[in-house]
Amino acid sequence: MREFVSAYVLPQTDVEKEYLRQFSQGVLDPGLLFEDEEMARAAIASPEAQWKLQNIRKMRRHSHRDI
């Protein structure tokens, strides 16, 4: 299981790490991962990605209020 996660789930490149860092900040930039513009647009339009971004942004707003 650990080998599977390391090989297929964890980021493998600096670009993948940067994509995830930005995503965790509420920024979606699929151009980092997909050279194909159509694929990048599809990733932006993904309901799942938009839902997750909305949740990340909401959590970040609430956590900043608590400071």
pLDDT in tens, 2-42: 888 788 788 889 999 999 999 999 999 999 999 999 999 99
What CA–CA distance (Å, rounded) separates 62 from 30?
26
pLDDT of residue 5: 79
Can you tell me whether residue 31 is helix, strand or coil? helix
Q: In this structure, what token pair is assigned to residue 67?
A: 């400071």
Judge whether 15 and 33 are in contact, CB under 8 Å: yes
Report the number of distinct structural domains present in the chain. Answer: 1
**Tokens (6 digits) for 6:** 């390391």
CA distance 43 to 34: 9
Q: Which domain holds residue 22?
A: 2-65
Q: 65 pLDDT exceeds 80? A: no
Q: pTM score, two decimals?
A: 0.76
